[in-house]
């Protein structure tokens, strides 16, 4: 009984209270109401009643505006408070109309994991390398509302400048400032350095000067440094604007953090040298060129005096690049004294003693060294006699004299820090010795710098090429061969085609030596060993040497032709099919030679043909032994004639040019009896005249589509009686024989 609620209720109800009315049943709970009502009947009654909501007469509540507001209220209730979001997502600003909703959501998800500016900068740099430039620009624009992301902006500007888009980079730079991201020192360095990289663009100097001068504005947040000055000077130097360069250099302070350093002087000296070589006025005479170069050299000498003064005061550190920049400026000069001062410059800055006395000194005359002829130097610049003046006025070249320590002899140590020589110094010394014709000094400098016990400079390709030029000047073909074998092949270096040409020209210059042809043969064997395709210019020089060799014997010519036989095959293969893979066309198919390379290849084959002619038309070997050489010469001659014939037909437009693989296009379809190439040229040549092209155009519209001239060709040809061109006796004899 106590377990049943229906039985329990009457038991606890007071006797003096009347029973509850049925209308009060709604005061009970939902579970108790089910005891007094029938659920099915109640639902049926509710379905029969008409539905009339309380706001049925209110049009506002049924409007779209109310529905939209209700939707926004629900969205606001579901949105998490700002304290639960990441700090950089709390302030994103309004969405850019150029961004889609999907891009906006993606950038938000990325920013959720990029809380630190350093992480953001690293992520931007990584994604820019993948080509996601627009996405990273959107990301940085969103992030700049909550953090300072100047480094990320710098990465984007640097990426655009590296691609050569200068205007886009400057737009990003201006947008960066408008968004409250103030550029730092690295921003200006990146922009000026990128402008120097794109110095070939029009108006680049004006843009660089505008950005550089903005650093000196009163409201500038960045203090200009010598790094910004060097970058601006580099822009002016590469663009060749010397007026702007001197305008910037004139405002450099003499002391302080913005004072000039070694890079500043090197940039200015290099710019002077380039202006003397490149920016030569048209129609300038040799005297005017020499005078203009003289003025440039004097500017460099005056600047070097300032450099040495600051170096002695320990305000400047001299390095190899600065020394070589000054040395190469001296080599551009018109005076032999300028070339000779390069050796004094090396002695002054690197403590490497001169191996040849100074030009014009008494020690040079006592050493027995000849005077420089300098045939290409004007007469007034050929000799320097100012050192013979009676007074003690400073003469030309004193600014490069070796410095002595200031103090009492050996008590005070030498405070100077000398520059360390390298490959650039080695090339500079070899070129200077070549100009002043100091062969022994060039060898001495080479041994000093490459000796493992002193400076241990490992020669590179440029050093070897310059050394070969010195040997060519001295006609040392044997030493050239030893240099290629010992310095290159034995140490794992592969000589280039330019080195082989210089070495081969050394043998040609040394043709009076009875071993020059043999040395040239060694160079040709080195070329066949290290190169896939033979160099046509080196082969032509070897063939010329074999032809003009004054001490040539029959065996020498036979040996030369034996070496040239595989070379000739290789050149023919290059002309017909194509050479081996090159660095620029690694993933492309072999292509036949064309243009200037083809002319050099044909010229080399002609020179080889000349070697055959010399052997065959001479009495150096017996006549019985000439037959194989005559056959080889005939084969080579026919190939040369075929190449010339094909080239002439291509030049006249009779044949199509070969395709990329070296073959002529196959005629797949003929139009009007001609291949497409001939038909196109025929129509082009007879476009205005009613010639064969117009006739072909008319007959092509016929039903059978057969030209009239082709129908005439298909007819039987009626031959007329052949005229007798022989004598009557021969004719009668032939008729008698035929009748029999």
Gap between the Cα atoms of 572 and 579, Å rounded: 10
Distances (CA, A) of 99 to 103, 104, 138, 285, 390: 6, 6, 8, 63, 83
Is residue 95 within 8 A of residue 141, CB to CB? The reply is no
Sorted by sequence, the CB contacts under 8 Å of residue 422 that are 6+ apart come out as 320, 457
- Tens of pLDDT along 286-306? 888 888 999 999 999 999 999
Closest CA to 314 of 269, 267, 255: 255
pLDDT at 145 (0 to 100): 87
Question: How many other C-beta atoms lie within 10 A of the C-beta of residue 578?
Answer: 19
**DSSP secondary structure code for residue 485 in this structure:** I
Question: How many other C-beta atoms lie within 10 A of the C-beta of residue 573?
Answer: 16
Instruction: Of 250-254, 373-377, 625-629, give the lowest mean pLDDT range.
Output: 373-377
**DSSP secondary structure code for residue 671 in this structure:** B
| Residue 491 pLDDT greater than 50, yes or no | yes
**DSSP secondary structure code for residue 657 in this structure:** P
Gap between the Cα atoms of 103 and 109, Å rounded: 10
Domain ranges of the chain: 269-360+416-440, 552-577+592-651
pTM reported for the whole predicted model: 0.73
- Tens of pLDDT along 651-676? 777 766 665 444 455 544 444 454 54
CA 625 to chain centre: 54
- Tens of pLDDT along 428-447? 999 999 998 889 999 999 99
By CB neighbour count within 10 A (0-12 exposed, 13-18 middle, 19+ buried), where does 292 fall? middle
Angular region, 553: left φ>0, alpha ψ -120 to 50, beta rest = beta
Query: What value does the mean pLDDT of the chain take?
Result: 80
- Tens of pLDDT along 550-598? 888 889 999 999 999 999 999 998 888 765 555 545 545 567 777 888 8
| Residue 269 pLDDT greater than 60, yes or no | yes
- Tens of pLDDT along 620-644? 888 888 899 999 999 999 999 988 8
pLDDT at 97 (0 to 100): 84
Instruction: Of 19-23, 62-66, 412-416, 442-446, give the lowest mean pLDDT range.
Output: 19-23
Q: Which two tokens stand for residue 604?
A: 């080399």
CA 701 to chain centre: 55
Q: Kindly state the average pLDDT of the residues 495-510.
A: 94
The DSSP element (H or E) to which 238 belongs, if any, is helix 226-239
pLDDT bucket at 738, cuts 50 / 70 / 90: very low
Q: Which two tokens stand for residue 697?
A: 């155009």
Beta bridge partners of 671: 674
Closest CA to 307 of 344, 337, 349: 349
CA 487 to chain centre: 29
Is residue 240 within 8 A of residue 300, CB to CB? The reply is no
Is residue 608 within 8 A of residue 543, CB to CB? The reply is yes
**DSSP secondary structure code for residue 394 in this structure:** -
| Residue 543 pLDDT greater than 90, yes or no | yes
Closest CA to 472 of 419, 514, 513: 513
Sorted by sequence, the CB contacts under 8 Å of residue 269 that are 6+ apart come out as 300, 303, 322, 325, 326, 329
């Amino acid at each position: 009984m106590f377990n049943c609620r229906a039985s329990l209720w009457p038991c606890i109800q007071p006797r003096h209270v009347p029973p509850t009315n049925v209308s009060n049943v709604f005061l009970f709970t939902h579970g108790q109401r089910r005891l007094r009502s029938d659920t099915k009947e109640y639902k049926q009654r509710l379905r029969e009643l008409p539905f009339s909501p309380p706001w049925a007469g209110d049009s506002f509540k049924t409007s779209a505006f109310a529905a939209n507001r209700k939707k926004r209220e629900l969205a606001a209730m579901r949105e998490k408070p700002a304290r639960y979001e990441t700090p950089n997502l709390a302030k994103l600003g309004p969405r850019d109309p150029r961004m889609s909703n999907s891009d906006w959501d993606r950038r938000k998800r990325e920013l959720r994991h990029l809380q630190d500016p350093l992480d953001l900068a690293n992520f931007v740099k990584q994604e820019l390398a993948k080509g996601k430039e627009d996405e990273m620009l959107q990301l940085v624009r969103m992030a700049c509302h909550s953090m300072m992301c100047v480094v990320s902006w710098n990465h984007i500007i640097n990426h655009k400048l590296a691609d050569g888009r200068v205007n886009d980079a400057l737009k990003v730079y201006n947008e960066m400032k408008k968004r409250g991201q103030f550029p730092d020192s690295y921003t200006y360095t990146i922009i000026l350095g990128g402008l120097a990289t794109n110095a070939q663009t029009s108006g680049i100097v004006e843009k660089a000067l505008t950005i550089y001068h903005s650093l000196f504005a009163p409201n500038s947040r960045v203090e200009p440094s010598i790094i910004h000055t060097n970058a601006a000077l580099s822009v002016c130097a590469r663009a060749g604007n010397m007026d702007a360069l001197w305008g910037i250099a004139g405002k450099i302070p003499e002391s302080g953090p913005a004072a000039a350093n070694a890079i500043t002087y090197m940039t200015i000296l290099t710019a002077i040298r380039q202006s003397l070589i490149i920016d030569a006025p048209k129609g300038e005479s040799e005297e005017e060129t020499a005078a203009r170069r003289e003025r440039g050299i004097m500017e460099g000498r005056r600047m070097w005096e300032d450099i040495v003064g600051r170096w002695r005061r320990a305000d400047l550190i001299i390095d190899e690049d600065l020394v070589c920049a000054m040395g190469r400026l001296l080599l551009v000069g018109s005076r032999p004294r300028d070339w000779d001062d390069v050796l004094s410059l090396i002695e002054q800055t690197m403590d490497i003693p001169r191996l040849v006395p100074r030009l014009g000194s008494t020690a040079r005359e006592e050493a027995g060294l000849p005077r420089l002829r300098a045939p290409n130097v004007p007469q007034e610049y050929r000799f320097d006699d100012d050192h013979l003046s009676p007074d003690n006025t400073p003469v030309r070249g004193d600014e490069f004299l070796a410095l002595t320590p200031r103090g009492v002899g050996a008590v005070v140590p030498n405070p100077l820090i000398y520059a360390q020589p390298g490959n650039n110094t080695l090339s500079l010394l070899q070129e200077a010795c070549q100009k002043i014709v100091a062969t022994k000094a060039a060898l001495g400098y080479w041994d000093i710098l490459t000796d493992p016990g002193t400076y241990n400079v490992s020669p590179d390709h440029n050093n070897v090429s310059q050394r070969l030029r010195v040997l060519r000047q001295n006609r040392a073909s044997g030493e050239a061969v030893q240099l290629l074998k010992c310095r290159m092949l034995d140490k794992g270096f592969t000589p280039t085609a330019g080195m082989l040409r210089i070495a081969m020209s050394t043998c040609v210059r040394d043709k009076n030596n009875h071993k020059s042809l043999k040395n040239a043969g060694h160079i040709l064997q080195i070329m066949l060993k290290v190169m896939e395709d033979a160099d046509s210019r080196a082969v032509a020089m070897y063939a010329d040497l074999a032809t003009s060799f004054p001490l040539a014997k029959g065996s020498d010519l036979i040996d030369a032709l034996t070496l040239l036989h595989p070379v000739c095959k290789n050149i023919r293969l290059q002309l017909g099919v194509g050479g081996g893979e090159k660095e620029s066309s690694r993933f492309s198919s072999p292509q036949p030679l064309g243009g200037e390379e083809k002319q050099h290849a044909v010229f080399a084959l002609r020179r080889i043909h000349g070697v055959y002619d010399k052997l065959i038309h001479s009495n150096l070997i017996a006549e019985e032994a000439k037959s194989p050489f005559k056959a080889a010469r005939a084969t080579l001659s026919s190939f040369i004639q075929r190449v010339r014939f094909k080239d002439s037909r291509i030049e006249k437009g009779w044949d199509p040019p070969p395709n990329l693989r070296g073959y002529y296009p196959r005629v797949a379809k003929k139009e009007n009896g001609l291949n497409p190439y001939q038909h196109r040229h025929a129509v082009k040549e007879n476009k205005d005249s009613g010639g064969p092209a117009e006739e072909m155009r008319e007959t092509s519209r016929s039903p059978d589509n057969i030209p009239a001239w082709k129908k005439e060709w298909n007819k039987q040809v009626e031959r007329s009686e052949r005229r007798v061109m022989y004598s009557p006796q021969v004719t009668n004899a032939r008729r008698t024989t035929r009748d029999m």
